[in-house]
Amino acid sequence: MFCRVFCADILGIEARRICVEADVSGGLPGFYMVGLPSSEVKEAKERVLRAISNTGIDLPPRKITINLSPANLRKSGSGFDLPIALAILGAMGILNPAHLKDAMILGELSLDGQINPVRGVLPVALLAKEEGLKELIVPEQNLKEGAAVFGIGVYGAKDLKTLLQRIADPQKDYAKGEDLQNVLSEGRYAYPIDFSEVKGQEVAKRATMVAVAGFHHLLYVGPPGSGKSMMAARIPTILNPLTMEECMELSRIYSVAGLLGEEPLMTHRPFRAPHHTITSAALAGGYQIPRPGEISLAHKGVLFLDEAAEFKQETLETLRTPLETKQMVITRSSIQTVFPADFMLVMAMNPCKCGYYPDRNLCCCTEADVRRYFGKIKGPILDRIDVCIGTKKVDIGDLKRDDLPMTSEAMRKQIILAQKKQQERFAGEGILFNAQMGPKEIKKYCGLEREAEALLDKAYQTYNMTARGYNKTLKVARTIADLSGREQIQKEHIMEALSYRNAFVERL
Amino acid sequence: MMTREEMWFGLCSCQGIYRTDIERILKAVEDISNLYGKNKSRVISELAQGSKRTNGQGVITIEQAQELRKRTEQDEISRLMELNEKRGIRFLSMDAADYPKRLLVLKDAPYGIYVKGAVPSDGPTCGMVGARGCSAYGRSMSEKFAAYLAKGQVQIISGMALGIDAVCSRSALAAGGKTFVVLGGGVDVIYPKENTDLYYEILMKGGGVLSEYPPGTPSLAWQFPHRNRLIAALSDLLLVMEARKQSGTLTTVGYALDMGKDVYALPGRVTDPLSESCNLLIREGAGMLSSPEEVLSLLTGRSDEISKEGKSSRESQKAEFSDPKAESLYAALDWDARSLEEIAQKAQMKAEETASLITYLVLDGWAKEVSPGYYVKT
């Protein structure tokens, strides 16, 4: 007897359809699995056989052959347990194979027949819908995630026994997914933190707002206790809401990484703050079967590198390509995987190794020390930072000030307006934000009046700026003009942009 | 026949034979020419083994004697002199006409010095020394004083160390003046590396690099206090710009006072550790640095020559702005680094306004960014 069911395997953030074929025949009793299974898939044998027997089904001693096709691709993951079990039961005639011909099945088995959650349900659900399948059977804990995809019936299986009962007696009581639009607007701004809690940092907050409005990468420099991390953590509260497409793309990444948890989808823009001891592979993504790294988990959100100067040189270097291409390509001998990685880079660092320069009462570092410390972040990374701002140590007076500091809501409103302007401007240009402008767009959209141009020329001479620095200033000035609602970049916009430039890049 | 200058060169070019060794050698041989006479070999052996003149005690070690024997050969001297000439290094013995007269005041004046570039002329000189890790205040004051003095034809003497020393030399050069530095190693050993550009600029602009150590001598920590005595001796007046407690700068001050030279210190706030030694010096009787004009008149007697050309430095501090906002922002600045946030709070201005106007002040030369987001007055 023979039975075939559908299952899927994850590669990058995409799912591939895999057929699980089971054949039960006469001959010496045994269990054979072919089709390039990895070791966790091979181990399915023990789990499947024990789970079936513990569900109260006696398997007659027969020769069982399992084939995973296409046979030339390496299969990995624990989601194959359940399809293998169902294929065997189908081939044995214990259940009717016809009931499974339009279903995609995914799940890991416990020895007692319980069905455990797996990673990557969302891309599998999307694949099942694309392939025109009618039903998706996933572990119960993954139900919400699967149900986020409309147009396919999703059933959450608790254990093998109840699943078999349901297959024998087909019903259409599928879980109803939540309305995406609803989910996005509902959970949108429920942050427990707010920018108004950051006191006495109005200049740094302004710089943060400028950076976010134009999707410029940002660097905070300041002594310990000057609110760098506190501000960075609040950046998600002023980001614009995720669009549906962004939400699906981001959720796929999190689904593959197994980080969705109880949530059906990622409804917030992510904020990732890896510790400085992180390895290159964990930051950029990697391992034998490539998994998304922190840069992909920060997709459409914020990647925050605190104590940026403490990161290993080669770890920071891995950021170079993704910052340029907005994706991470991981190549292994047999496969190539692409993870999206379009993030806003936010870094924080001290101005010197003791952390207090230029306060000479506390800092004894020589200028060479200061320069050396700054030199730890190499030019190619610093070069991509458009906005750099010094933060000051907060004193007791700041904490007690009772004037109203800017709230996240006020900042977000301004940012969304400025971003709308950008989107209108760049319609059809293939870019979304000012930070993404190339020389062509800068020429087109950053024209200056005579006075403003004269000022920038003077700054170019005085600061001994580079061509890249010149363009960065124009891009940031464009964002500042957008924030103030002006079509034309004014002199004061240029001046403000100049104060956010990273002077150290030029001095080194 | 060897000239006396060559004889001095041979004796002073020995590696590992320092001024005190040379002093003992000369005492033992009476006259330097005896080191180069017919029985040179015996004389040098006796230096190491002891003779009647030395009460049977050796004055140098066997290694030093070997070095001396090698360096006093005519061939070796010619070779080294040629090499130095190629590198643009001059040797000046105490007897040489060019030897800086100011050094002769020292009880322990070097028997010979090496010079790359020029030596200070007889015109006024002013030593400017201070901390390596200086504050923004010390830096801007040093810039101001060095530039003003250099414009007034005063030669700035310093040690090319990081911080104050380098700032003074750089400002003097930028103002079109001359500066001379004394190194703690050979004149061809650029120390610290960070000031390589400064080293070449000094030479290019008619200044000079001096050292009592033969070329190639590494800069060792113990040599720096000895180097400081030369800085003190070459300076008609010594200015201490910033110094912490127990700073190495104080050795320079000590030498200057021993020679009866005037020492001026830049006063600072009592809370600033970098002004601690300066304030202490003032209490102990050092002059208080208040304006570069005063220093210039002390050195040259012509007080207001420069002041007539334009505004005096004190007057020029009174900035005039067409924009009242820029004026209040300028008023919020200090000689000490302040963050943009503090400046905004002091001037009671909005963040975006502050960020914008500060660029105006920087571009017009009223303010300077010393660290990202931190500004000082200039």
Predicted local confidence at residue A301, as pLDDT:
93
State how far the Cα of A502 lies from the Cα of A384, in Å rounded to an integer.
10
- The pLDDT score that the predictor gives to residue B169 is 96
Domain final residue, candidates A379, A404, A427: A427
Residue corresponding to tokens 């090319």: B160
Q: How far is A460 from chain B (nearest CA, A)?
A: 10
Q: Is residue A75 located within the same domain as residue A205?
A: no
Which class is domain B125-313? alpha beta
Q: What is the reported pLDDT for B146?
A: 95
Over residues B58-74, the pLDDT tens digits come to 889 999 999 999 999 99
Number of domains in chain A: 3
CATH of the domain at A262: 3.40.50.300
Q: What is the pLDDT of residue A262?
A: 75
Name which of B272, B351, B372 is nearest A361 (Cβ-Cβ).
Answer: B272
Can you give the pLDDT at residue A336?
Answer: 86
Q: Is A178 inside a domain boundary?
A: no
CATH code where residue A32 lies: 3.30.230.10
CA angle at B29 for the pair B23 and B30, rounded to the nearest 5°: 85
Q: Which CATH class is domain B324-377?
A: mainly alpha
DSSP secondary structure letter of residue A152 = S
- Return the domain boundaries, chain B: 4-81, 125-313, 324-377
Rounded CA-CA distance A33/B144 in Å is: 84
Same domain, A392 and A453: no
Asked if A11 and A158 sit in the same domain, the reply is yes
Residues A242 and A122 in one domain: no
Last residue of a domain, one of A427, A449, A475: A427
Residues of chain B positioned with their CB less than 8 A from the CB of A205? 351
**Are A137 and A265 in the same domain?**
no
Q: What is the pTM of this model?
A: 0.80
Pair A178, A264: CB distance under 8 Å: yes
Q: Find all residues with CB under 8 Å of A475, minimum gap 6, and list them.
A: A214, A216, A386, A434, A435, A437, A442, A446
Residues of A within 8 A of B273 (CB-CB) are 360-361
Q: Do A251 and A395 reside in the same domain of the chain?
A: yes
Q: Within a domain: residue A122?
A: yes
pLDDT in tens, B123-154: 999 999 999 888 888 988 999 999 999 999 99
What ipTM was estimated for this complex?
Answer: 0.82
Chain-wide mean pLDDT for chain B?
90
For position A467, which CATH number holds? Answer: 1.10.8
Counted residue by residue, chain B has a size of 378
Domain match, A406 and A457 both: no
- The string over B191-212, giving b where at least 16 C-beta atoms fall within 10 Å of a residue's C-beta and e elsewhere, is bbebbeebbebbeeeebbbbbb
Pick among A221, A365, A496 to test the B interface (most B CBs inside 10 A) = A496
Residue A182 placed within a domain = no
User: A203, B162: Cβ pair inside 8 Å?
Assistant: no
CB contact under 8 A, B372 and A359: no
Do residues A370 and A411 share a domain? Answer: yes
pLDDT tens, B307-364? 444 444 444 555 677 788 888 999 999 888 899 999 998 999 999 999 999 999 999 8
Residues A417 and A443 in one domain: no
Q: Is A388 on the interface with B (CB under 8 A)?
A: yes
Give the mean pLDDT per block of 10 residues along chain A (508 residues): 92 92 93 91 93 93 94 88 95 91 94 94 93 93 88 91 89 73 66 88 94 95 92 92 88 91 84 94 85 94 94 91 91 86 95 87 82 84 90 83 81 93 91 91 92 92 86 95 94 94 60
A49 and A99 inside one domain: yes
Residues A479/A434, Cβ–Cβ less than 8 Å:
yes
Residue carrying structure tokens 């608790």:
A158
Q: E strands along A85-146, which residues?
A: 103-105, 108-109, 115-116, 135-139
Q: Which two tokens stand for residue B37?
A: 């006479």
pLDDT digits (tens, 9 = 90+) for B212-254: 999 999 999 999 999 999 999 999 999 999 999 988 899 999 9
Identify the helix (H) or strand (E) that includes residue B168. helix B164-174
In the prediction, which pLDDT does B153 show? 93
Looking at the fold, whether A355 and A373 belong to one and the same domain comes out as yes
**Which domain does A299 fall in, by range?**
187-427
List chain A residues with CB under 8 Å of B341.
200-204, 391-392
Tell me: do A14 and A98 sit in the same domain: yes
